[in-house]
Structure 1
Amino acid sequence: MTPTNWIYFDTSPTTWWLLNHLALGAVSFWVIRRQQALPDWVFLLAIGAITGLMRLPVFLYNLPLNPDESQLLAQGLTLAYDPILYRSVDPTTSGPCNSFLLTFLYLLGFKLDFHLTHVLSWALTFASLVLIYQSLKRLQLRLYAQLALLPAVAFVSFGQDEDYLHYYSESLSIVFLSLNVYLMSCWHQQKKIRLFELTVFGISTALIVLCKIQALPLAFVLGVGCLFFIYTLHKQQFFVYASVLTLGVLGVWGAWLAHMWSYGVLEDFYFYYIKANALLKKNFVANSPKSPLRLLLMFPLIIYTNGKGIEYFFLPILLLGAGFLSFVFFKRKHWKTLIIKHYFWTIVVAYVVMVIITVIRTGSFYPHHFTYFILPCCLLAGLFLSSLPTQWNWIILLTQGIYFSHLFIGTITKKGINKYPTFISEMEELSPVGRTILKYAKPGEYLVVWGWDCQYYVETQMPQGVNENHSVRSAMEHSLQDVYLQRYVRDMTRTKPAIFVDAITTETLWMEDPDKYGHQNYPALAKEISTHYTLKATVNGVRIYARNSKTTL
């Protein structure tokens, strides 16, 4: 049980922040000042403790940080009752792996609440950092491996924006991407590829796309890079090694597609995960600039205006990059040395370019999309540091310095430095709507929420009775709306949920007009509710309907 009864955080835990700043500062100064890397176990234990302790206020905060988090929790809970994807759950842009991971934890006995997802978000992020660190070590960057990780550690530790703290759907795909880069760094070091490693690479590549469809271009870049490694290191056995890689990918996807086909949802998988997501920008991001060139030119401004703190991570790396380019330009000898081992870094640069293209392609510019930059930027930081004079090492502390200034300013101005005080979480863990729902149903029964308030599934521990748990694609006008709405009503007919909640209010995300988006405006859905449900209560504009007892048979 989370120990909320003996530890609390208010809005200004200054001492807590200061101690962790000092701890990270001590690690940083040791490595820079002494030009000596800490033992691996000491370094990893230190950054694990610092990032974990700084996340403790969030671990204790049992409220949704981001709507995506509630969606994933509801999906994970529902799959525990009906594990067939697209019969019970449509994960939209998030791949099934993110939801199935939560289902697995649920089956192990964990309660699917926000405490769990906040810890899981940190655990996956830390796993990525460990893999990035091991990659840097395999590249023989020694102490620069530790220095290169420091901006990311500072960002993960002291960043306060909910977009980076919740269980975002990119986090698991980043772990698999980091694993693939680690394997490539091993091949770069050992100058050979083991067939077992190649099989793991193929399986990981296949899973990346089942974690996040937008990560497909990034998986593609690493896949092409893998083929280049095979050609470089095992030219005479290229087709044998390429076949092993291909079998790893096809084995996962073949098993997945066969599973979908056996339950009659293969067409749904293609339509809702591939086709519908390909049309997402056209259907829901109509106001974004259309020209890719314009978006590319605006990209630094996009990060600055939408970064919500990640821009502090980029600053030291950009400065080091500028120094690196100028240094290489004037030192031809160093340039020749770099060319000899250029292919790995060419892949890393191509990866950065593909991340930019991927973010531009979505057009939504959600801050957590920028986390795809952490992996390649940490690798490049290691390269820059290893190529520059030692006095440049101090630039790597810039991210920490900015966050320390936030601590100083927040303390002096008394504006507060912690956005997640424990007492707010304890006061609001079960909302008035959640309490009312549980008057007419019990955990384990099906619930349907019309709107974008998936936290009610989590509060009540009731699985979702429809595929689409946040109603955007059914309620808002777009090219596929009719298909989604028909499925929505069909799902309700199949599951006969105990409770239907019309959560459209003036505060609903994207659908803030009850007169326009209320369920009564959709004839098929309105008929289903009027026939089988009775309005029991209205709480803060949210209408709660219970299924008529005679219609439950």
Structure 2
Amino acid sequence: MLSFDDFPVVYFALGYLLAAAVALLVYGNKIRIQELLFLVASGTLVILMRLPIVIFNQEINPDESQMIAHALTLQQYPIYWQSVDGTTIGPLDNYVLLLPSFFGIAINYTSAKLVGLLCVLGSLWFFYKSVKNFFNGSVARLALLPPLFLVTFTQDADFVHYSSEQLPVFLLNWGLWLLSNLIPSPSARAAPSIWRREQASLRPDYKSRRALALSGLFWLGFVLGMSPFAKIQVVPQAAVIGLFSLVFTFQPKNFFRNAGALIAGGITFPLLIIGWAAAYGVLDDFWDFYVLGNLIYAGGSSVLDSILRIPSFFAKSPDFIVFLISIGLSSLLAFFVPKKLLDNQSKTPLTIIFFACFWLVASLYAATKSGNDFVHYLNLCIYPFGLIGAFFINKNFKNQQFSSLTALLILLPFTSVFGYKILKHQPLITYMSTADHRVPVSNVSKLILQHATSKDRLVVWGWMCRYHIETQMPQGTAENHSERCIYPHPMREKYYQRYLSDLEQNRPKVFVDAIPNSLWLNDRATQAHEAFPKLNEFITKNYHLVGEVERTRVYVRNAEQ
């Protein structure tokens, strides 16, 4: 039986010892395979410390249940925007959850967290390779530590559940790596840029290298073009990466060719999606419920309001504050070490500094623009802050002592939290393992399963998507929560009419009214299905009540229907 609950202090102490070993591997290349050892140890550390969360086969955040329910539905009814609408969540976030099922793994919270862990590992890998291209290997190893330790040791629900930010953050870091491949190596940057371009044009391999650059721009555009279909919220960050790819490769005579390659890559995936949506008759749904729906959602606050809210937003996550402190300590050290001990040859080009700053601003804008201070939006800011930290770390130290000191300073805030929790007798593991690691089934779901099977459709009025995971039943309406049919907004009538149309067309076996036992929707008098005449008429005519459990009413379709 896999469990981490018996000796959590020993378990975390071993994790911090491994983290210290990772920190000591950051400097130099005295061991031939030092980089490989560093990367293997880093990956092992993340996997080891995230295992208790992966095997915690329960809902950590309601968004998890929403996306897993979408995946369960897509497994039987694979057309997005026809059988499934993730509202602000893009189709890629949901389709990727089907991957474990190809290996015989059930679609549940554990499989979703496993997919999320792979996205986290991929983000760390591409971030490391990007910083190595921007600077060098030693800087990349040091710069990787703050995000590495954050995703390793955090128990914050908003960083460990399968969130809609994990896949788009992976795509952004993939794009960051493709961008970093377009710039000269650190040693080549010492030469004046005009001289480099003139010499490059005289070399016999110039045409082949230009073709490679165009290919790189195309695939960068392709990856960036995918990102809005994971989460449209990341468009500002993707735009900054795309813009600076043209800055990094700027040559007057090749500018339009380069821009053409980037734009061609950028529109390829969206055009494929549009063509696919048109072929399956869901183009209008794509436009109405994904594009327009997201634009309404994004109008939550002004830029000024977003800026003013940032400090309180950060304060909602102590773990994110610890992450920022670790970057701050490593950055401040560069200002206090005597100049004679600094490597003055490691100056960061202005274009990289500007890019890092713009990327950070774009991430903050994306995280705050909706006006909803959901902490999981801070996932969008982890690597932009990490890249800013890399800029300060690039003031390289001439000897191992100061680089090792930097690494240990990065680790210090995280170990301090560990020590504080022990002294205050606070729990180290938030998510205690269940006896058999199966999804717990609520009394509501037990009642549902008395009248239906996993092949039947289920509709939940309210916001309790976990009933789909507990019963393994697909959705009977495109949305698996009815918040947008209930709360006032410009498109409420459109959502409500689609909901009614889906009920009429799909004739789900079970209808559940989860109000007031529901996220955000708790007033039975004004929000239950009886408060909506057309919906009430449909349910009254076609369904009968079989029971009420946990303030939740379960209706089953009449036998003759």
Q: TM-score, normalised by structure 2?
A: 0.89
| Equivalence for 2:476 | 465
Distance 1:216-1:37 versus aligned 2 partners, 3 A rule:
farther
**Paired letter, 2:529:** H
Relative to 1, partners in 2 of residues 1:291 and 1:269: Cα closer, same or farther, differing over 3 Å?
A: closer
1:448 match: secondary structure? strand
Q: What is the aligned partner in structure 2 of residue 203 from structure 1?
A: 222
Aligned residue number for residue 171 of structure 1: 166
1:82-136 CA deviation, whole Å, 9 max, x = no partner? 2222111111111111111123443453311001111111110111001111112
Partner in structure 2 of residue 231 of structure 1: 250
Of residues 292, 304, 309 in structure 1, which corresponds to 2:319?
A: 309
Answer whether contact 2:89 2:231 (CA < 8 A) is retained: yes
2:10 alignment partner, SS class: helix
Paired amino acid for 2:249 = I
Residues 147, 260 of structure 1: alpha-carbon distance in 2 compared, 3 angstrom cutoff: same
Give the secondary-structure state (helix, strand or coil) at the position aligned to 2:474.
Answer: coil
Cα drift, residue 321 of structure 1? 4.0
Kindly state the Cα deviation for residue 415 of structure 1 after the two structures are TM-superposed. 2.8
Which residue of structure 2 lines up, in the alignment, with residue 445 of structure 1? 456
Partner of 1:115: 110
Give the alignment of 1:444-523 within 5 angstroms: 444-505=455-516, 507-523=517-533
- Listed one character per residue, the Cα deviations across residues 142-184 of structure 1 (whole Å, up to 9, x for unaligned) are 2221111111111111100111111111111111111111112
| SS across alignment from 2:546 | strand
Moved more, 360-369 or 490-499: 360-369
Aligned counterparts of 1:84 and 1:382: Cα–Cα separation in 2: 43
Residues 470 and 402 of structure 1, relative CA distance in 2, 3 Å threshold: same
Inter-CA distance 134–393: structure 2 relative to 1 (3 Å threshold)? same
Equivalences for residues 336-375 of structure 1 within 5 A? 338=347, 341-375=349-383
> Offset at 1:31?
3.2
Using the TM superposition, name which of 393-402 and 195-204 deviates more.
393-402
How many residues end up aligned between the 2 structures? 533
Report SS of the residue matched to 2:2: coil
User: Retained in 1: the 8 A contact 2:182–2:216?
Assistant: no
Please give the TM-score of this superposition, normalised by the length of structure 1.
Answer: 0.90
Residue aligning to 2:131: 136
| SS at 1:544 equivalent | strand
Question: CA 1:30–1:225 in 2, change beyond 3 Å: closer, same or farther?
Answer: closer
Q: Is the 8 A contact 1:62 1:425 kept in 2?
A: no
Aligned partners of 2:73 and 2:475 also within 8 Å: yes
Does the 8 Å contact 1:151/1:397 carry over to 2? Answer: no
Give the direction of change, closer, same or farther, for the CA distance of 1:292–1:323 in structure 2 (3 Å limit).
Answer: farther
Q: Distance in 2 between matches of 1:425 and 1:301?
A: 40
1:525 shift after superposition = 1.0
The residue identity in structure 2 corresponding to 1:530 is T
The CA deviation string for residues 325-365 of structure 1, in whole angstroms up to 9 with x for no partner, is: 7999x99x9999747x2213321211111112222312112
Aligned to 2:369, the other structure's residue is in SS state helix
CA distance in 2, matches of 1:399, 1:475: 47
170-179 or 181-190, which moves further after superposition?
Answer: 181-190
Determine if the alignment matches structure 1 residue 257 to structure 2 residue 252. Answer: no
Which of residues 261, 265, 268 in structure 2 aligns to 1:244? Answer: 261
One-letter amino acid matched to 2:375: P
Aligned to 2:203: none
Alignment counterpart, residue 175 of structure 2, candidates 171, 180, 184: 180
CA deviation string 1:182-207 (max 9, x = no partner): 11212213586533322221210110
Distance 1:348 1:33, change over 3 A: closer
RMSD (Å) for aligned C-alpha atoms: 2.6
- Structure 2 unpaired stretches of 5+: 189-208
Q: 1:276: Cα distance to partner?
A: 1.4
Q: Are 1:452 and 1:470, in contact at CA under 8 Å, matched by a contact in 2?
A: yes
Secondary structure at 2:178 match in 1? helix
Structure 1 CA distance for aligned equivalents of residues 450 and 96 of structure 2: 30
In the alignment, residue 371 of structure 1 is paired with which amino acid?
N
Matched, 1:100 2:111: no
DSSP 3-state at the match of 1:423: coil
Matching residue of 2:191: none
Alignment partners' CA distance in 1, 2:6 and 2:415: 16
Q: CA deviation at 1:262?
A: 1.8
1:319 offset after TM fit, Å? 3.9
Question: Deviations for 1:501-536, whole angstroms, at most 9, x for unmatched residues?
Answer: 11112x421112222211111111111111111111
Q: How does 1:37-186 map to 2 (within 5 A)?
A: 39-186=34-181
Maintained 8 Å contact 2:135/2:394: no
Q: Which residue of 1 aligns with 2:196?
A: none
- Do residues 526 (structure 1) and 545 (structure 2) align? no
Q: Is the Cα contact below 8 Å between 1:11 and 1:421 reproduced in 2?
A: no
Assess if the C-alpha contact under 8 Å between 1:317 and 1:381 holds in 2. yes
Match for residue 390 of structure 2 among 352, 364, 382: 382
Q: How far 1:66 moved relative to its partner?
A: 0.6
Deviations 1:450-503 (A, max 9, x none): 111111111111110101111110122222212111111110111110111111
**1:15 corresponding residue in structure 2:** 10
Would you say the 8 A contact 2:347–2:395 is kept in 1?
Answer: no
Q: Once structures 1 and 2 are overlaid, which stretch shifts more, 512-521 or 58-67? A: 512-521
Shift of residue 294 of structure 1? 4.4
Question: Could you tell which deviates more after superposition, 396-405 or 317-326?
Answer: 317-326
Q: How far off is 1:51 after superposition?
A: 0.8
Q: 1:227-255: per-residue Cα shift (whole Å, max 9, x none)?
A: 222324xx423322322222212221111
State, as a whole percentage, how many aligned pairs show the same letter.
30
Q: Which amino acid aligns with 2:45?
A: I
Q: Greater shift after overlay, 102-111 or 26-35? A: 26-35
Q: Given residue 203 of structure 1, which amino acid in structure 2 is its aligned partner? A: F
Give 2:287's aligned residue: 270
Is contact 2:26-2:38 (8 Å) kept?
Answer: no
CA distance in 1, matches of 2:6, 2:520: 29
Distance, in Å, in 2 between the alignment partners of 1:277 and 1:386 is 39
2:548 counterpart SS class: strand
Aligned counterparts of 1:367 and 1:515: Cα–Cα separation in 2: 31
The answer to whether the aligner puts 1:549 opposite 2:559 as a matched pair is yes
Confirm or deny that 1:194 pairs with 2:202.
Answer: no
How far 1:412 moved relative to its partner? Answer: 3.6
Larger CA deviation: 253-262 vs 418-427: 418-427
Question: What is the rounded CA distance, in whole Å, between the counterparts of 1:404 and 1:319 in structure 2?
Answer: 14
Letter in 2 for 1:157: T
Does the Cα contact within 8 Å between 1:188 and 1:344 map onto a contact in 2?
no
| CA distance 1:427–1:178, shift in 2 (3 Å) | closer
Secondary structure (helix, strand or coil) at the match of 1:500 reads strand
Contact kept, 8 Å, 1:138 with 1:186, in 2: the verdict is: yes
CA shift, 1:547, in A, is: 0.7
1:3 match: none
TM-superposed CA distance for 1:281, in Å, is 4.9
Contact 2:326 2:411 in 1 (8 A): no
